[in-house]
Amino acid sequence: MMKSASGNMLGIKLGES
């Protein structure tokens, strides 16, 4: 779960960029 959350956060940040 923790790994998934971290990946999601990174994915969102990259998508926003």
Tokens of 14: 């990259």
Tokens of 16: 């926003």
> What is the reported pLDDT for 4?
74
> What is the reported pLDDT for 10?
83
> What is the reported pLDDT for 1?
56
pLDDT digits (tens, 9 = 90+) for 1-17: 567 778 888 888 887 77
> What is the reported pLDDT for 2?
65
Buried b (16+ CB within 10 A) or exposed e, 1-15: eeeeeeeeeeeeeee
Q: How far apart are CA 6 and CA 10, in angstroms?
A: 6
Query: Measured in Å, how far apart are the chain's first and last C-alpha atoms?
Result: 24
